[in-house]
Every structure is written in C-alpha cells, then in structure tokens.
Amino acid sequence: MKRFVYINDDEASNELCCDNRISNRKYTLWNFLPKNLWEQFSRFMNQYFLLIACLQLWSLITPVNPASTWGPLIFIFAVSASKEAWDDYHRYLSDKKANEKEVWIVKQGIKKHIQAQDIQVGNIVWLRENDEVPCDLVLLGTSDPQGVCYVETAALDGETDLKTRIIPSACVGIDLELLHKMKGVIECPIPDKDIRRFDANMRLFPPFIDNDVCSLTIKNTLLQSCYLRNTEWACGVSVYTGNQTKLGMSRGIAEPKLTAMDAMIDKLTGAIFVFQIVVVMVLGIAGNVWKDTEARKQWYVQYPEEAPWYELLVIPLRFELLCSIMIPISIKVSLDLVKGLYAKFIEWDVEMIDQETGTASYAANTAISEDLGQVEYILTDKTGTLTDNKMIFRRCCIGGIFYGNENGDALKDAQLLNAITSGSTDVIRFLTVMAICNTVIPVQSKAGDIVYKAQSQDEDALVIAAAKLHMVFVGKNANLLDIRFNGLTIRYEVLEILEFTSDRKRMSVVVKDCQSGKIILLSKGADESILPYACAGQQTRTIAEAVDHYAQLGLRTLCLAWRELEEDEYQEWSVKFKEASSVLVDREWRIAEVCQRLEHDLYILGVTAIEDRLQDGVPETIETLRKAGINFWMLTGDKQNTAIQIALSCNFISPEPKGQLLLIDGKTEDDVSRSLERVLLTMRITASEPKDVAFVIDGWALEIALKHHRKDFVDLAILSRTAICCRVTPSQKAQLVEILKSCDYRTLAIGDGGNDVRMIQQADIGVGISGREGLQAARAADYSIGRFRFLKRLILVHGRYSYNRTAFLSQYSFYKSLLICFIQIFFSFISGVSGTSLFNSVSLMAYNVFYTSIPVLVSVIDKDLSEASVMQHPQILFYCQAGRRLLYL
C-alpha cells in the first residue's frame, strides 16, 4: 500500500486523509460514561459485584439492605472513573494547546497563518528556529544554502544530540520564491510507527527539473514533535498529519502488566467463586428440602400452598447473596491504595537518589511493585547499565606500536606525541579517521569553545581525543569538514556516509581531500567486521593481538582503516549506491550489500581502546542479588571478550576454577547444534556440583539456535543461572526475555538505551537507567533509577516489603470475608436453611469497612525484618520467589 501526496494541491490531496487534529483522548464528553462503564465491567470481579448488587434489589431474596453493596460499588466506580476523566481532561488540554498553535503554511501559492490542526496533507509548512514541527514533513528547503538543517528529536526517541536533516537532491538550488509554487508528488508508504525508516520517492512536476525520481529517506524528513535548531528557517510538505504521524502511530495505550500476585488473586477469586457456587447449590437444595418437609409443619411460618414458578430458585438465590461477601469487594480498593503507596515509597526513598545528577527514582507503573520481590531472572544491558557509559580514550595501537601501555593514558604518552610532531603518516591518518569518520556535529559555543554533539559516546570520545592530540575537528558546513592540525586547516568534502547498522557493525565515510582531490574511504568498526576486509598484503595478526589484549583489559576496541579510491571506482559505485538508496523494498539490506562492495582491501591503521568504567557498587549489587537466588543474564551488543571481561570484573561469573564458561558458537546450523548439545551435556553433569557455570553465546549463534534448536536452547536457559549473550540485536534481547517468560520465570530487564526498549517492554518488570543514552529506556520502563546499584534496594527492600504487605493484605481480605461468611453458613443450619442473615446490614458493612478494612491498611507501613537484616541475608528472598509455586500468597 502506498500513499500519494500531491504537493501544494488541495483538490488532489483532500480525499486522502484526516486533518492535523491530534487526539490522544480516550473519551469524548458523550461516550465517557458508557465507554468507561463498559471498560470497568469487562473485569470479572466487577461483573460479579454488579450482578450481586442487582439481585439485592429484589427484596424477596436480599438478606441485607441493597445500599450495603451499591454504596461501595458506586464509590469504587466513581473513583476509577474520575481518575480516568482527570487524565483524559489533561490529555484534552495538551492536545488543544498543540492543535491551536499558529503555524505558517503555503496554500495555493499564498503564505497564510493558520492553526496547526488545519494543516492538510500536501500543504507546505514553514518553520522558524526553535519551532516545534507540527506534523510529519518532507523537507523542501532550508535557510542553509546546502540544504541542511538540524533537529532535536528528544521528544521522539529521547536522544538529546542534534541530528542533521537534508533536503532531497531534487530540491537543491530551488529559489525561495519558487518554493511557494512548487508542485509534485511524493510516493510514500502508508503511515507506520517506525521512526527510523521512511522509504519514499519524490517527483517534482515541471517546470522544476526533469521528472527524475528522487529517493527520500528518514534523513529528508522532519517528524512531528521534533524541534528545529541552529537553522534560521526550514520548510517542508506535510505527508502525515494528525494521528497518522510517526509519533501518532507509535502512541497507544500500553497493555497493563499483571503481577504474579494479581494473577494469583484472580485465580483465588475464581476458586472461591466455584466454592461459593457449590455451597449455594448444596444449601439451596437443603433449603428446598427442609422447606417441603419441615417448614410446612411450622404453622407460624405460613408457607403458602400455591407457589410461583420461581419458588425453587428463591432459596438458592438468597444463599448466593448471603455468600456473596466471600469475595471481598474491599480487596480491589485496598490493593489499589497500597500499591500507589508502594510506588510513592520508591519515589520518596532518599537512598535511591543519584547524588551526581540529583534524580530520584520514578515509578511509572504503580501496580507491579510486588513483582519486584518475586524476580527470578535479571536481564541486563552492559553499556551504560553496568558501566558508566562515560567513554574515555585510553590506549591505541597504531601500525603495531602500542601507545599508552605504560601510563594507561595514550594522550599523555610521549612516544605518541613525538610521533605526531614528527608527522608519521600512519599516525596522522589514524588521527584523521578518529576526527572525521563519524556523524558528530561540532557546535561553536558563545565562549568560542567547540562542543561536539554526537550520537554515540564512542564517537564523542574519539573526536575529543583527536582534538587533544592536535587534530581538531572545528567545523562542519554541509558536506565540508574543517580540520585544524598543528595550525593548518584541512578541508574535506564528505561524499557519502555509509552508516552504522547493527548488522554491519562498521561505518565508513567517503571524503575528498579538497586540496589534493584524492578520494578516501575511512572506516571504523568492530574487529571482526574490519579485519576480514584488510588488503591482501597486510599482516592483521598484530592488530588482532592488540584487540585481544585490550579486550582482556575490559576496554572497548574499534579498528580504524583507510583506503584511497580511484575516481572511476567511486563514480561507478556511487551510481549503484544511489540506486540502492532509492528502492522502496529491502532498502537497508540493499544498501548494506552495496556498501560491502566498497569496503574491501582496507589498510588497517590501528586499534583504539576506549575505557568504559564500571559504575559504583555494581559487583556488590550483583553478588547480593545472586545470593538472593536471582539469576543474571547479560545481553550486550558489545563483543565477546569485552563482555566476558566486564562480567568477570563485576562478579557476574567467577574465574576458574570456581567458575566455568561454556562457549556456544558456530557459523552454520550444524556447528551451533553440536556446540549447543555439548554445552547442554556439560551443564547437566555439573548441575550437582557447586560450580558457577555460565554459557556465552553470540548473536549469530543465538539466531540459529533460536530458529532451529529452540527446545534445546530453552532447556539450556532453564539449567543455567548465568549467561552472557553478546552481539545481540534489540529484537534478540526481547526474544530472550520472551523465552524466559515462557518458562514461567519472573523476569526483570534493565537497560539504559534505545536498544533496550523492546526488552524492557517485553519483560515482566522493565527498569530503565536514566543515563547518558537519552531517556528512551527510562520512559518505556516501569521504574527508572539513577544507578545500577539501586536495583539492590529496589528488589530487596521495596520489592520484598511490597510483596509481603500485599500478600498479608490479600490473605487477610479473603480470610475476614470467609470468616464472616462461614458464620452465616453455619447459622443457616440452625435457622431452617431459610437464608436468614445473622447480622444486619449496618453491622455487615461496619465489619467490612470499619472493623476490618481500614485498620488493616496500617500493615502497609509494617516491616517484618529490618532493612539491614534483609541486606545481610538476601536469601530471605527465596520465600517471596517461591510464593508463585506454593499457594502461600
């Protein structure tokens, strides 16, 4: 399915789709009551209470005053309805604000000021600096002569760096005046929610250029809710409006997560309901028999001879009402109340404030605190979660010479500084790659310093290090890069950027040296995706050794490479690249294939090693939580050696001989299968030994294992307490969570970056670290904390207390209602099985509310053990985890 957007043509575009009215509202004024009631009554418990309340209106069978059920029922409904209404009203207000914002658009060649909600698909929208983008636009022109503009996408993906957006090639050089009169057609996919992909084509109508199809990517778009920065003005044609924008499509009410405890309570409620039905049937039959044999003789009761048709049902229904209090109506209210308080306790906790940034913990999901106490598996990201994600360039190896090995800091290594001053070619090339092979944008601050806006922390570290080594990346002007080296300014023109993808694991730029006119390919990437493409003559052994050496120190490594291209070769390839960039289907894959054709015969310059320090308290936290019976899996996109080193240094796995690492690898199905079987066998043998056995698997093998040997892998997952999965993609992370969940384990996923979002959403509990990689993970998560070490407190203190308190409260709720119900049942045997209530309405209500429900809420501040003793004996958490299997709630 495709959508055709006609630029600046009202008639052709009108029938297409909605206007730009944003609506996040769930209800309107008219449908609020029915829709909200319908939603509330889709829960079994509510239906049950309504049925009971309705039956009570029939005075022949009701044992008590109907008000004693209607009162609480209406109260509960009113509370949740007004909560919904309040939320919805705020959504309405924020929508209204966005909808009524004034924007400049061009309609039929005239510039007009209209409200944002009146934008139509095909309108040309004008934006100024720091404006918010009102709908999804395809960029047509900017104030920049090269057609570049910068946007901040924080509201969309949480990344705070500036991203470059560029006008499509077809629009280059169009005059400002002509932009008003532009006509054309954009062929774009139907609206979806993928904010990283926009595979479309554009064709301008004459008199603008020929009818050449121009491909569009996400780089040519301005998406709704982004901000235009560092650009005087920009204009674009709206392609998706209203709720059909990328942002609008990715919205949606998240499925509410149900805790193990909730599921248990639901099950118990079901069981009690069945029990109640049995009791009602037995008593109903007994009542009818007694009535026919005994009660007829009791003259003072005056049973009529003639009975209406429903006579047989009257006594069972009376018992149904009498026993209806078996399922406590108060449990829902009290649980909602205390759960809200648990969440508040987490937010209030001063010991979980990140002192560095002053951010407190935040519980976005207030309903799942008990689950924290029942966690069995923690799946953690590495970078930014276990580590600080504060990348610092530490060492490097250039042309086989190690720098920074002595003092641990290459920036202060005299040997390297000497090499730079003496102008060693390799070293200078190396620094050049460090400085320009990236997507960093230098911004000149008012004080005159240069601040780098980088998407990845690694690139940031490299550029800063290069600057300290006198290779300063001073400015980026569209395609022109300025580098200052020892006082000289060198200018490069960027011809192409072969972007980083998690599959390719490397990125390259093709630049032209403006002075010599040479075309150069600069690449950087993971060793296994660079070294195989080294040129035939080069010995890569020293490089590989260097990579190993650095990895063992727990450093992140990148290989830098370089190749001079012939003009013809570049031109020929460039055509193919453009072609691949304009296909609509499988574009990513096609581009990767074309990139491959250029990235070969590389001259490997060397290796950089970047340090990513462990966060404070990580080893202690992991050790304590492992003692508490929680299993850890590390899922990282990083390479195996680095992952293992980090794992060792944070108590994740024990070194030999206490621990054992089993490797699952292989490139083919057979290899992986054999490897998997071997590991499984070893696992089974060592299961009885007190040994820490962990398995390590990489993304490739994981892919095969999940595809062909899912069952074996699941067995392995059940057996192993520790696993390290490296080189895994975001979707694989989510898949692993799903596997553990399918084995009925309670999982907690913790991460900090956009690549962890899917895993966080998939897991029973998602915890985000509000770290440096933006807020994306923290926003998708149920809980966000400032540091990894707070996890210990979150689980052992808050999770455990919440679990115990909820367990107590729900047990108590069932207990007290069963208690009073059994009194009623026993009384019925001495009251002629006629369904008399021993208690009157007021007493019953007082019992349910004042005597039993309100006083017991105090248990919310009860602590069974002190925090210190829980921390000292984390094993106590076993009891909470086991709660799922035993019927001890």
Of the listed 144, 381, 388, 460, which one is catalytic? 381
User: Tokens standing for 175?
Assistant: 């005059």
- Nearest CA to 821 among 72, 46, 279, 49? 279
- Under rule CB under 8 A, residue 374 binds other proteins: no
Q: Near other proteins by CB under 8 A, which window of 139-147, 593-601, 698-706, 824-832?
A: 824-832
Angstrom distances, CA of residue 592 to CA of 505, 576, 577: 11, 12, 10
Residues touching other proteins, count (CB under 8 A): 69
- Under rule CB under 8 A, residue 685 binds other proteins: no
Instruction: Give all strands (DSSP E) within 711-846, no chain letters.
Output: 722-726, 747-751, 765-769, 783-785
Among 12, 55, 155, 849, binds other proteins (CB under 8 A): 155
**Buried b / exposed e across 99-134, counting CB within 10 Å, b at 16+?**
beeebbbbbeeeeeebebbbbbbbbbbbbeeebbbb
Between 801 and 814, name the residue whose CB sits nearer to other proteins: 801
How far is Cα 79 from Cα 329, in angstroms, rounded to an integer? Answer: 14
- Under rule CB under 8 A, residue 253 binds other proteins: yes
- Under rule CB under 8 A, residue 834 binds other proteins: yes
| Mask for 275-294, x = binds other proteins (CB under 8 A) | -------------------x
**Buried b / exposed e across 680-695, counting CB within 10 Å, b at 16+?**
beebeeeeeeeebbbb
Among 35, 91, 390, 505, binds other proteins (CB under 8 A): 91
Contact present, 171 and 152 (Cβ < 8 Å): no
How far is Cα 90 from Cα 25, in angstroms, rounded to an integer? Answer: 9
Among 131, 136, 144, 157, binds other proteins (CB under 8 A): 157
Between 9 and 347, name the residue whose CB sits nearer to other proteins: 347
Angstrom distances, CA of residue 449 to CA of 464, 478, 558: 12, 20, 27
- State the nearest-atom distance from the C-beta of 154 to other proteins, in Å: 6
Binding residues for Mg(2+): 381, 383, 752, 756
- State the nearest-atom distance from the C-beta of 766 to other proteins, in Å: 10
Among 229, 576, 708, 779, binds other proteins (CB under 8 A): 779
Contact present, 859 and 809 (Cβ < 8 Å): yes
- Under rule CB under 8 A, residue 691 binds other proteins: no
Residue 381 among the catalytic residues: yes
- Under rule CB under 8 A, residue 360 binds other proteins: yes
Angle formed at CA 475 by CA 474 and CA 479, multiple of 5 degrees: 140
Residues from 12 through 31 that contact other proteins (CB under 8 A): 22, 24
- Under rule CB under 8 A, residue 467 binds other proteins: no
How far is Cα 730 from Cα 738, in angstroms, rounded to an integer? Answer: 13
Among 143, 164, 217, 359, binds other proteins (CB under 8 A): 359
Residue 471 dihedral angles phi and psi, to the nearest 5°: -105, 90
- State the nearest-atom distance from the C-beta of 690 to other proteins, in Å: 6
User: Tokens standing for 791?
Assistant: 């996890």
- Under rule CB under 8 A, residue 304 binds other proteins: yes
Strand ordering across the sheet containing 136-142: 110-115, 102-107, 124-128, 233-240, 136-142, 221-222
Among 42, 302, 422, 515, binds other proteins (CB under 8 A): 302
Helix 800-829 crosses helix 311-323 at what angle (to 10 degrees)? 140
Amino acid at 753: G
Residue 538, helix vs strand vs coil: coil
Strand partners for 785: 769
Among 29, 447, 536, 830, binds other proteins (CB under 8 A): 830
Between 512 and 758, name the residue whose CB sits nearer to other proteins: 758
- Under rule CB under 8 A, residue 250 binds other proteins: yes
Strand partners for 401: 398
Between 405 and 686, name the residue whose CB sits nearer to other proteins: 686
- State the nearest-atom distance from the C-beta of 184 to other proteins, in Å: 30
Between 94 and 742, name the residue whose CB sits nearer to other proteins: 94
How far is Cα 749 from Cα 784, in angstroms, rounded to an integer? Answer: 11
Residues from 483 through 542 that contact other proteins (CB under 8 A): none
Between 133 and 170, name the residue whose CB sits nearer to other proteins: 133
Between 158 and 525, name the residue whose CB sits nearer to other proteins: 158
- Under rule CB under 8 A, residue 300 binds other proteins: yes
How far is Cα 63 from Cα 319, in angstroms, rounded to an integer? Answer: 9
- Under rule CB under 8 A, residue 859 binds other proteins: no
- State the nearest-atom distance from the C-beta of 243 to other proteins, in Å: 10
Q: Near other proteins by CB under 8 A, which window of 204-212, 323-331, 341-349, 468-476?
A: 341-349
Contact present, 8 and 123 (Cβ < 8 Å): yes
How far is Cα 198 from Cα 245, in angstroms, rounded to an integer? Answer: 12
- Under rule CB under 8 A, residue 364 binds other proteins: yes
- Under rule CB under 8 A, residue 836 binds other proteins: yes
Amino acid at 666: G
Between 55 and 154, name the residue whose CB sits nearer to other proteins: 154
Among 758, 787, 792, 816, binds other proteins (CB under 8 A): 758
Residues that bind other proteins (CB under 8 A): 22, 24, 63, 87, 90-91, 94, 98, 154-158, 193-195, 225, 247, 250-254, 294-295, 297-304, 318, 344-345, 347-350, 353, 357-360, 364, 629, 690, 757-758, 775-776, 779-780, 801, 827, 830-832, 834-836, 838, 861-863, 873, 875, 878
Active-site amino acid positions: 381
